[in-house]
Structure 1
Amino acid sequence: MSEENQAAENQPVFAIQKIYVKDVSVESPNAPQAFLEQLQPEFNIQFRNEARGFDNGFYEVSLTVTAQAQVEDRTVFLIEATQAGLFQIEHVPAEEMDPLLGIGAPSILFPYLRETVSDLTTRAGFPPLLLQPINFEAIYLQQRAQQAAQQQAGTEETTH
């Protein structure tokens, strides 16, 4: 019986402990003039994902979006929002940790971030900004390929 208990204790754990808004900033520097004009802004949207671990098997993963709407050289609005989650991760093989933190957790956080941004744009007096789905796996694999290419280039430079 103790072998079964020990086996159960060593099972991989990936559990959401908390999802929360960590930081929010909304600027509409040209309000109320922006509301009086028929604007067709261009959007610049950038994402950033960060993860940090704690000693007790908990990890905070945060997904940040910076969304700027501009017409010519005028900023219509600028929103920066960080959605974060506290995840318990235990007994997971080392080679699976990066994908969990770079793909799994951000995929869980993204719908919450999308809702936050949509709500913020509406509360700022603008039509909702709906963030399009993101393929976190493709981004993760692309970043790994770039890192491998950079390491390969660095190795070639030092061996010649």
Structure 2
Amino acid sequence: MATQNGAPTQNPAPSLNVLAQYIKDFSFENPNAPRSLGAPQSQPDVNIEIHVNARPGPEGEFEVELKVEGGAKVGPETLFAFELTYAGIFRVQNVPEQALQPVVLIECPRLLFPFARQIIADAVRNGGFPPLMIDPVDFAALYQQRIAQAQAEAQTAAGQA
């Protein structure tokens, strides 16, 4: 506990504020319409990839991007495809340095995800298909995979040097 003028002071509480949210880039393709709008002969193969990127800004602010790419196919025929980059500006204050990266790369995308999910569901529905309801994402597991991949790449680079 710190003191000021002889009296104890409280450390300010950590805070995470959403300053803005926005669609940075969005694309929806329905390349085989109207042929693709009928009942499919078999269950569509749905593929979804999620990536998180962050950039620091001024005074404890970060721009966090949630990039969601995916689509559905039946055999070789594409039913639909989409790419969404949904971003937010976050202010992170009073967070210890060792906790900053997990907050930015886990908690911030967790706050953005429901909005990105709804944008995609609406676009797929507006494209003539049942809404695509993406399952919740474990951003902590994605973060751990990212750290493990970076460590493996560093070991590979060290082994080649």
Q: Does TM-score exceed 0.5, indicating one fold?
A: yes
For the 8 Å contact 2:40–2:74, the answer to whether it is kept is no
Q: What aligned pairs does 1:28-43 form with structure 2 within 5 A after superposition?
A: 28-39=30-41, 40-43=43-46
Equivalent residue, structure 1, for 2:93: 90
Equivalent residue, structure 2, for 1:115: 118
Identity of aligned residues (%): 35
Per-residue Cα deviation, 1:109-132 (whole angstroms, up to 9, x for no partner): 111111111111111110011101
Distance 1:73 1:20, change over 3 A: same
2-structure distance, mates of 1:141, 1:87: 21
The number of residues matched between the two structures is 155
TM-score by length of 2: 0.84
Equivalent residue, structure 1, for 2:145: 142
Q: 2:104 aligns with which of 68, 92, 101?
A: 101
Equivalent residue, structure 1, for 2:128: 125
Unpaired stretches in structure 1, ≥5 consecutive residues: none
1-structure distance, mates of 2:10, 2:129: 51
Unpaired stretches in structure 2, ≥5 consecutive residues: none
TM-score by length of 1: 0.85
Q: 1:22 aligns with which of 21, 24, 36?
A: 24
Equivalent AA in structure 1 for residue 37 of structure 2: F
Q: Which moved more, 1:18-27 or 1:61-70?
A: 18-27
Distance 1:113 1:18, change over 3 A: same
2-structure distance, mates of 1:125, 1:142: 35
1-structure distance, mates of 2:127, 2:80: 8
Higher-helix-fraction structure = 1
Post-superposition offset of 1:99 = 0.3
2-structure distance, mates of 1:107, 1:37: 34
2-structure distance, mates of 1:13, 1:127: 38
Query: Structure 1 stretches (4+) deviating beyond 6 angstroms?
Result: none
For the 8 Å contact 2:55–2:62, the answer to whether it is kept is yes
Post-superposition offset of 1:35 = 1.5
Per-residue Cα deviation, 1:51-85 (whole angstroms, up to 9, x for no partner): 11112321111101111111222211111112211
